[in-house]
């Protein structure tokens, strides 16, 4: 029945057999999907690539081919490789920023540890003042230690 043709067979203007390799993945209601892959890979290449993967993975393969074809149509020079490069750049930038922040965190933590140590110094300082006072009040006693 002509109305039962998949998008691939409609595009190729041929009968759609019951075992058509394209029909599960290129339904008639989405003609753009097959048009994209046909433009970039060609129908026979797509059929060959689908035949080269196990049946349970063919849907994923067809969808991946469609995405790559679409990206290639959108960017005829770089296709999906432009996207990969862009992600690499994002990752590099993020890693640099992360290292920068982690360095700042480490710095702040060190500062915090230093600040926590200061009150102890004040106590010691106040103790030494009291000692001076004691020595001046009790010169005889302290002279034993000199």
Partner 1 sequence: MGGSSPCASCKLLRRRCTKECIFAPYFPSDDPRKFAIVHKVFGASNVSKMLQELPIDQRGDAVSSLVYEATARVRDPVYGCVGAISYLQNQVTQLQMQLAVAQAEILSIHQMQQDPSNNNTTLLPSQLLDQDYSEKFLLLSSAENNNNYDFLPQYLSFASSSSSSSNVFQDSEPLKRESFC
Interface contacts to partner 1, rule CB under 8 A: 39-42, 44-45, 49, 52-53, 57, 60-61, 63-65, 67-68, 72, 76-88, 90-91, 93-95, 97-98, 100-102, 104-105, 108-109, 111-112, 115
Residue with smaller CB distance to partner 1, 110 or 141: 110
Q: How far is the CB of 78 from partner 1 (least distance, A)?
A: 5
Q: How far is the CB of 133 from partner 1 (least distance, A)?
A: 33
* Tokens encoding 28: 């008639």
Distance CA 70, CA 81 (A): 12
Q: How far is the CB of 65 from partner 1 (least distance, A)?
A: 7
Q: How far is the CB of 139 from partner 1 (least distance, A)?
A: 44
C-alpha closest to that of 65 among 34, 87, 88, 28: 34
Residue with smaller CB distance to partner 1, 63 or 138: 63
Residue 36: Cβ within 10 Å count: 20
Residue with smaller CB distance to partner 1, 1 or 115: 115
* DSSP calls for 31-81: HHHHHHHHHHT-HHHHHHHHHTS-GGGHHHHHHHHHHHHHHHHH-TTTTHH
Residue with smaller CB distance to partner 1, 90 or 142: 90
Residue 34: Cβ within 10 Å count: 26
């Amino acid at each position: 029945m002509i109305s039962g043709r998949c998008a691939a067979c409609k595009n190729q203007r041929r009968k759609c057999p019951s075992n058509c390799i394209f029909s599960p993945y290129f339904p008639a209601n989405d003609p753009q999907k097959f048009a994209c892959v046909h433009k970039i890979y060609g129908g026979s290449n797509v059929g060959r690539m689908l035949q080269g993967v196990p049946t349970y993975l063919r849907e994923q393969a067809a969808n991946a081919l469609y995405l790559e074809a679409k990206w290639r149509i959108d960017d005829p020079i770089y296709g999906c490789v432009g996207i990969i490069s862009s992600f690499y750049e994002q990752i590099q930038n993020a890693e640099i920023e992360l290292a920068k922040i982690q360095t700042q965190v480490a710095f702040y933590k060190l500062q915090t540890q230093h600040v926590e140590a200061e009150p102890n110094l004040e106590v010691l300082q106040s103790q030494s003042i009291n000692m001076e006072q004691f020595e001046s009040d009790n010169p005889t006693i302290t002279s034993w230690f000199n």
